[in-house]
Structure formats: structure tokens, C-alpha cells
Amino acid sequence: MSAVFSYYLLPRAEKEYLASYLWYEEQQDGLGKRFADCFRKKLHYISANPDLYAKKKGRFYETALGKPFPFVIIFQVDKKRS
């Protein structure tokens, strides 16, 4: 069984995530929660399967959150720290 890596958001990413959550919730009741659920699921999937993603630039990987959320997650993997 492969390792599951831990993850954390940088302060700037956390701020952007929260702003996006609030914006979606303002657009429609419950849409912010759907965004948050989708975001968490994607982070869990990335942490369990980081090698499924191709590097985009240097040490960074990138993946889209998915419909209906035009949101991109940029991440890096530090296998030494996990």
C-alpha cells in the first residue's frame, strides 16, 4: 500500500481558498459548502496519489479542481517530510 502524505495550505493559498468559499456561498446557498467538499476530496486524493500528476514547472504540480469550479490547485511533494 502506498503512503498517504500530509498536506497544508500556505497562508496565501488559505486566504484564496476562504475568499473563494465565501464568493461561492454568496452566489448560491450551499455552493460554498460544495466547493469546500470538492476541494477537500481533491486534497485527500492528491495526498494519497501524488505521483499521478505531472510536474508543470520546476518542483510544482498542478491540477484542476473540476466542474463546476474553475479552480486550480498547485502543489509540491516533499517525500522526505512525510
pLDDT band per the 50, 70, 90 thresholds, residue 3: low
Provide the pLDDT for residue 36. Answer: 97
Question: What backbone phi and psi angles, to 5 degrees, belong to 56?
Answer: -100, -40
Q: Which cell numbers in the block locate residue 77?
A: 511533494
What tens digit of pLDDT does each residue of 56-79 get? Answer: 988 899 999 999 999 999 999 887
Q: What is the total residue count of the chain?
A: 82
Domain boundaries, the chain: 11-75
**Separation CA 20–CA 18 (nearest Å):** 5
pLDDT tens-digit profile of 21-40? Answer: 999 999 999 999 999 999 99
Q: Please give the grid coordinates belonging to residue 49.
A: 496519489
C-alpha to C-alpha distances, 53 to 43, 48, 56, 67, 80, nearest whole angstrom: 13, 12, 9, 18, 18
